[in-house]
Amino acid sequence: MDLLNTLVEKGLRRELPSREEALAVLATSDDELLDVVAAAGKVRRQWFGRRVKLNYLVNLKSGLCPEDCSYCSQRLGSKAEILKYTWLKPDEASKAAAAGVAGGAKRVCLVASGRGPTDRDVERVSQTIGAIKEENADVEVCACLGLLSEGQAERLKAAGADAYNHNLNTSEATYGDITTTHTYADRVETVRHAQGAGLSACSGLIAGMGESDADLVDVVFGLRELDPDSVPVNFLIPFEGTPLADEWNLTPQRALRILAMVRFVCPDVEVRLAGGREVHLRTMQPLALHLVNSIFLGDYLTSEGQEGKADLDMIADAGFEVEGTDTTTLPGHRGGGCDSPCGSAPADGAEPAESAEPAVPDNASARTDLVTVRRRGAGTDLAPNA
């Protein structure tokens, strides 16, 4: 039995692929790409049908972070010319969130730069959660505030937070090359704090930082072990003024292979296409909808995204539908609403995939013109992109 058929069967059984199989997905050639997408698409449809969940980011506090994460435009010492502002007031954050909800977002993600929240910060965010829920009772609220201390996750849960995001970002073996002010273990501990408090855990990765295939597989297997409900897959946005400004390592084909590998390893999890999709997938974004079941609508934390209407048009044109607030995202065995598989049954016929080295572009093919610093929405007087 060939690689792709094996991976489809394992995905439908929620069985973990081997490391060798995950590496083989990343090593497939561009000629085999559509076969890879079709195979992973069978797994995606089995558990999530053709639904796409929309998420909306609100950057509560931008820039001036004391941590030294090399990929981040808000890092200590960053020279990226991003928006910088202190905490939004609860009514300001609620207004920003409402724009995303009006655009179709089911989840609002409240993000603040920094190592982690103080107790006063938790109280401030709790008031913001209350303001958002008062206006939009059905919206999911996810907080992303950095490393959590004892008891803080419980306070956020009591305030009405539904989820907590804290990404692993890269493999444990290479984490020290990316960040020195905290550790991979610190991040794992925060995800476990969130899970222990009854929050839905959201934890993902950043691809394109110069990591190897083995690093990518390691971090995704680490995520599978943590078992978050949501796995955001970010593609590095190489901001000028950050240490990774010259890391242009991704092609659209490479990005799709990474998403397919994540889907095979995390078949029944909300896999979210996150930051960097416009920069690296470009016109091939619709193909990614066959692999992921969740995307961010509009802008990101410090960079602008595709227009919200273009996102909605893309979803419709690709034959998918926006997931409504009355639909549970996760399948029943993960605490969702479907007691049986939520999508279609698998079909046979995937073509075999042979190992090949992935194509690596030179910098001449990089589209640096697609990185646009956010100048609208939260922290400005201009209308947001939603």
Marked catalytic residue, from 72, 266, 338, 342: 72
69 is annotated as an active-site residue: yes
Marked catalytic residue, from 45, 75, 272, 374: 272
Marked catalytic residue, from 65, 266, 338, 342: 65
Residues belonging to the chain: 386
- DSSP state letter for 224: H
109 is annotated as an active-site residue: yes
Marked catalytic residue, from 44, 75, 109, 374: 109
Marked catalytic residue, from 69, 144, 338, 342: 69
202 is annotated as an active-site residue: yes
342 is annotated as an active-site residue: no
Reference 161, options 196, 187, 200, 134; nearest CA is 200
338 is annotated as an active-site residue: no
- Residue 232's Cα: distance from chain center in Å? 2
**Block residue for tokens 């920003």:** 96
272 is annotated as an active-site residue: yes
The answer to whether 117 and 148 are in contact (CB under 8 A) is: yes
User: For the chain, what percentages of helix, strand and coil (3-state, to nearest 5) are there?
Assistant: 40, 15, 45
**Block residue for tokens 């609208």:** 376
94-128 burial string, b = 16+ CB within 10 Å, else e? Answer: bbbbbbbbebbbbbbbbbbbbebbeeebbebbbbb
Marked catalytic residue, from 50, 107, 142, 338: 142
The answer to whether 236 and 244 are in contact (CB under 8 A) is: yes
Q: What is the DSSP string of 33-102?
A: HHHHHHHHHHHHHHHHTTEEEEEEEEEEEBS--SS--TT-TTSTT-------B-PPPHHHHHHHHHHHHH
Marked catalytic residue, from 144, 202, 338, 342: 202
The answer to whether 80 and 302 are in contact (CB under 8 A) is: yes
Q: Which residues are catalytic?
A: 65, 69, 72, 109, 142, 202, 272
